[in-house]
Structure 1
Amino acid sequence: MSRRDFLTLGMSAVGLLGMLQMGGMTLQFLGPRRVEGEFGGLVEAGLAASFPPASVTEFPDGRFFLARTSDGGFLAVSRRCTHLGCAVSWEASQNQFACPCHGSHFDLQGDVQNPPAPRPLDTYPISVRDGVLVVDTAKAIPRDQIAPEQLLYV
């Protein structure tokens, strides 16, 4: 093998290694970020007893609302409107979620009260660990209708 062939082979290997590293960094950058306690990961909401019945608590870092119905059921409702994806807000005075973009309104459980939203707000699974409610924001659950089995009772 001549010196020229050896250098060509070596430089090709270094170039290929550099391209693989750039490709790996690009894939890591484009992939979803899963951080404990923030959106895309597990978020500890708190003790079940700390949420009064018929209340809504916002978790901005988790991008969801934790709604507790008057009968004690819990539901983690997405902040994302099902019409065009705008961020909904909770209007306590009117006891409803409101989308500022096109005027959709949703009740405490996320059911559509005023279109153009085509379906209820998505939810996230809730589990209980040592009495603490934990919401998995990595797995949004789309809904076509409201059903009692979607609520978690502790």
Structure 2
Amino acid sequence: GLAVMEIGGASLLFMQPRSLEGQFGGVVAAGLAESFPAGSVTEFPDGRFYLIRADSGGFLAVYTRCTHLGCTVSWQPEQNHFFCPCHASSFDVHGDVENPPAPRALDTFAVEIRDGQVMVNTATITRRDTFTSEQLVYA
């Protein structure tokens, strides 16, 4: 009986008409590319990501979920890293593991620059082992 109720409950969620635009699961218009200074990290709580503008000017969107057990990481500007409060994993400004137990870099979302706007697609999560400069998107 319980399994049937769970399946029924899950299907009801999909029948609710709702737009994911601007929030997690959809495309988030983060803002004008020029409004993010090089070397900045900006949190988008509704999108569950941090938008990083690297010193080189490239953009990267990282998921706020730790790759260890899924706790939410926070950006700590004074340490210049992301920190997971659950098991003390930390990640550098590009989401690379600095301190385990996290097994790999923070996951990313696709970034596209459209008419000067930074668009982040949170519908698809991209797993990665480590940061490479090819992951940066330029305006």
Runs of 4+ in 1 over 6 A off after TM superposition: none
Q: 1:79 aligns with which of 58, 61, 64?
A: 64
- Identity among equivalent positions (%) equals 59
What do you get for the CA RMSD once the two structures are aligned? 1.8
Tell me if 1:90 matches 2:75: yes
SS in structure 2 opposite 1:133? strand
Tell me if 1:64 matches 2:81: no
SS in structure 2 opposite 1:139? strand
SS in structure 1 opposite 2:105? coil
Post-superposition CA distance 1:107-130 (Å, at most 9, x none): 010000000000000000011221
More contact order relative to length (CA 8 Å, sep ≥ 6): 2
How far apart in 2 are the matches of 1:28 and 1:140?
Answer: 24
SS in structure 2 opposite 1:126? strand
Alpha-carbon contact 1:112-1:119 (below 8 Å) kept: yes
Deviation at 1:28, TM superposition (A): 3.8
Alpha-carbon contact 2:113-2:138 (below 8 Å) kept: no
How far apart in 2 are the matches of 1:136 and 1:36?
Answer: 9
TM-score by length of 2: 0.89
SS in structure 2 opposite 1:27? helix
Change (3 A) 1:83 1:30: farther
Q: Which stretch shifts more, 34-43 or 74-83? A: 34-43
SS in structure 2 opposite 1:66? strand
Q: 1:103 aligns with which of 68, 81, 88?
A: 88
TM-score by length of 1: 0.80
How far apart in 1 are the matches of 2:53 and 2:81?
Answer: 13
Tell me if 1:40 matches 2:14: no
Identify, as 1 or 2, the structure richer in strand: 2
Deviation at 1:30, TM superposition (A): 6.0
1:109-120 maps to which residues of 2 (within 5 A)? 109-120=94-105
Stretches of structure 1 lacking an aligned partner (at least 5 in a row): 1-21
Q: 1:29 aligns with which of 5, 10, 13?
A: 13
Post-superposition CA distance 1:61-91 (Å, at most 9, x none): 0000000111111000100000000000000
Tell me if 1:136 matches 2:121: yes
Identify, as 1 or 2, the structure richer in helix: 1
